[in-house]
Chains A and B, each alone.
Chain A
Amino acid sequence: MYTVFLYDGTFDGLLTCIDKILSTHVNEDEVVIAEKDRYQPMFFDSPVYVALDKNRSQELRQKVISASDKITFKKIYYCFLSEAQNKETYIYKYIKLILKHGKKVKYLYHNDVVNFVEKASKNVSREIGKYMGLMRFSEIKNGVLYAQFEPTNDILVPISYFFRERLKNFKWVIHDKKRSKLSIYDTKMIKFLNDINLNASFSDDENLYQKLWKLYFKTMAIEERKNLKLQRQNMPKKYWKYLTEKN
């Protein structure tokens, strides 16, 4: 029989939950962690909901970082952003490993838990890397830049921090259409919101620059070297929907 722990779906909520589990005596193999809203109760389960406690999550965060390092902690966060099945349970086991072995865990590739976290976090950081280049902004009437995307993983937060550095003098909005989430930057700070209705039309310049970019994209291809397979390999079709040059 499993002991089921539920959390609120946030990263801090998960850390709170894990901290709670670590302080109770349960058999590691019988722990299941799930998001409250997604959880489908099984007949014999008696799930326990652990509410978010910022102090507690902060405490565990510090503990993990001092046992390993910031890079290892970032891996945990990225794994959390992934869509991998049962990621919460793996993160719990991974944290247990860190608290036992320190940052050496990253060399334990043959361990399934380590392998899982490595793979999931790499998948997320790869997607972030792709979108750093493939996000396309359009200028709307009031000068705000607007971008939409449908990432596989929940990367709106890290990608927004990247564009805060990159476009720090511009107001912008990044819209995760798949999850109906938005980030809004007003040249000072980012706000994360759930879907709101956006009604805006392009600025006067926008059409010209989209045209210029499409033209440039076409112009740069060398006919004698044509290699569409290589293009798709580097820029898979799933990204094309929101790419100006591919529409």
Chain B
Amino acid sequence: MDILEKLQILGAAAKYDVSCASSGSKRETNYGIGSTFTAGICHSWTDDGRCISLLKVLFTNECLFDCAYCINRKSNDIKRATFTPYEVAELTMNFYKRNYIEGLFLSSAIKNSPDWTMEMLYKTVYLLRYKYQFNGYIHVKAIPYASLDLIRRTGFLADRMSVNIELPSEKSLKLLCPNKTKESILKPMEFITKVGEEERNFVSAGQSTQMIIGATDDSDRKIITLSQHLYKKFKLKRVYYSAYTPVNDDPRILKVEKPPLLREHRLYQADWLIRVYNFTADELFEKDENLDLEVDPKVMWALRHLDKFPVEVNKASYEELIRVPGIGIKSARRIIKNRVFHSLDFDDLKKIGVVLKRAKYFITCNGKTYERHLIDTVPEKVKLQLIEKKAAEQKVKQLSFFDSEVFTSVITGEI
């Protein structure tokens, strides 16, 4: 089989892995080829609008396991291929020097045995780092059930490692993933966290994971609570959510016509809120099990707490400011720096780059509301205004929330 065919098979098999980050790593050497860039760099965007920053491939798609949601499962009759470490290294180097990519994302199905597979990943990364003296970004998967020693040795060569948690609950895992147990996933994850805390240069850009959403009946609340746990307990850098794309016809999987992209988008927003904005999962959900698809989770929270609004821009603390829908970390910092010099009105806010589209319903400047319009205290009315505005701006007849035209930002990477 030639390299073109291998790349096609093993690239296609890896495309459902959502992590694309190439950021957060600092490796300083005076020798060798390439570098990493703290902010990460996107090198292209595919027809689905997702960025390509790494050469994302599987080492092999021959699998011993038979997970219901996976295209590469044992029971599927598909074309199989396996790279050699040398082939992956050559591809990476040649793509890298042409500036097609920022580095390598190497995952794999489990062929022969977990240890055999992990060893192949290790060999590939070793070849890149030592024979080719490659200093670019490398993200490599830790294979469940592989020996911790192999994982450890690989981790010293990689920027990032990840173990896929796959599904948000043990029950779902048992249902769809008969060969994996909760332990087989959490054990290596915990191990990577532990070594990372003890050793320098081990997985310097941290650990991430990904889970599939929409293939089982797990609620958003369950998903976000789990993520919160993963951030706290395992110090993960990122949890990625992947709207399930139906690749297999399996009765155990919930019927999905189209991948639930809007739900995925809302989960990323909620994830951002717990990771960066100090929200807790309980705060975001209170009595609900799922996120509101019509408005983003910060608006959802604000609507439930209208008594905390409006916030006075010239007096509010940083913590209060970042909870205003439409005001992010950057805007909040700018507001605080600028109001030292003079008090801010709505024009000033616009000048320093604060977007008022949503914020205007929740703030005052020196006691004044935006364009003298009254701030409503009835949540339903505020919500309606926010949604109607959006519909008018989008110029669509009537919002269909599953229409992919409605939202254009799919956040998958941190770059």
Q: Which residues of A contact B (CB under 8 A)?
A: 104, 107-110, 115, 129, 132-139, 145, 147, 163, 165-170, 205, 209, 211-213, 215-217, 219-231, 233-235, 243-245
**Does the CB pair B35–A220 fall under 8 Å?**
no
B80-110 at interface with A (beta carbon < 8 Å): 91, 94-95, 97-100, 102
Query: Is A133 a contact of B41 with CB atoms below 8 Å?
Result: yes
Q: Out of A108, A135, A224, which one reaches B258, CB within 8 Å? A: A224
Please tell me the size bucket of the interface on B: 35 or more
A198 CB, nearest partner CB in chain B, Å: 18
Q: Which 3 A-B pairs have the closest CB atoms?
A: A230-B49, A225-B48, A221-B47
Partner of A227, one of B11, B94, B95, B408: B408
Who on chain B is nearest to A216 by CB?
B11
Residues of B contacting A245 in the complex (Cβ-Cβ under 8 angstroms)? 44
Return the contact of B94 from the options A135, A205, A244 (Cβ within 8 A).
A205
**Which of B11, B259, B337 lies at the interface centre, i.e. has the most chain A CB atoms within 10 A of its CB?**
B11
B98 near A133 with CB under 8 A, answer: no
Q: Are B98 and A110 in contact (CB under 8 A)?
A: no
Shortest CB-to-CB span from B103 to chain A, Å, is 11
Are A234 and B42 interface neighbours, CB within 8 A? Answer: yes
In the bound complex, do residue A209 and residue B94 qualify as a contact, i.e. CB atoms below 8 Å apart? yes
Contact B45 A235 (CB under 8 A): yes
B367 interface contact, C-beta 8 A:
no
Which residues of A have CB within 8 Å of B341? Answer: 104, 107-108
Residue of A nearest to B133 (CB): A169
Residues of B within 8 A of A (CB): 3-4, 7-8, 11-12, 15-16, 32-35, 37, 41-53, 55-56, 91, 94-95, 97-100, 102, 243, 245-246, 258-259, 261, 337-338, 340-341, 347-348, 351-352, 404-405, 408-410
B32 nearest CB across to chain A (Å):
7
Minimum C-beta distance from A84 to chain B (A): 18
What residues on B are CB-neighbors of A168 within 8 Å? 33
Q: How far is the CB of B352 from chain A (nearest CB, A)?
A: 5
B266 CB → nearest A CB, Å: 16
Which of A109, A211, A228 has most chain B Cβ within 10 Å? A109
Q: Within the complex, what minimum Cβ distance (angstroms) separates A95 from chain B?
A: 20
Q: Are B37 and A226 neighbours in the complex by a CB distance under 8 Å?
A: no
Note all chain A residues with C-beta closer than 8 A to B95.
Answer: 209, 212-213
12 pairs from A and B in contact (CB 8 Å cutoff): A110-B347, A133-B42, A168-B33, A212-B3, A215-B4, A222-B16, A224-B246, A225-B243, A226-B47, A227-B408, A230-B408, A235-B44
Contact of A212 with B7 at beta-carbon distance under 8 Å, contacts A109-B352, A222-B16 already known: yes
Residues of chain A within 8 A of B53, CB atoms compared:
133
Report the bound CA distance from A235 to B70 in whole Å: 31
A243-B44 contact given A133-B53, A222-B15, A230-B49, CB 8 Å threshold: yes
Q: Determine if B100 and A110 form an interchain contact, defined as CB atoms under 8 angstroms apart.
A: no
Contact of A224 among B32, B33, B259, B338 (CB under 8 A): B259
Within the complex, which residue of A104, A135, A145, A166 is in contact with B34, where a contact is CB–CB below 8 Å?
A: A166
A133 to chain B: which residues have CB within 8 Å? Answer: 41-44, 53, 99, 102
- Indicate if the CB atoms of B46 and A221 lie closer than 8 Å: yes
> B16: which A residues are within 8 A, CB to CB?
222
For A166, the chain B residues whose CB sits under 8 A away are 34-35, 99
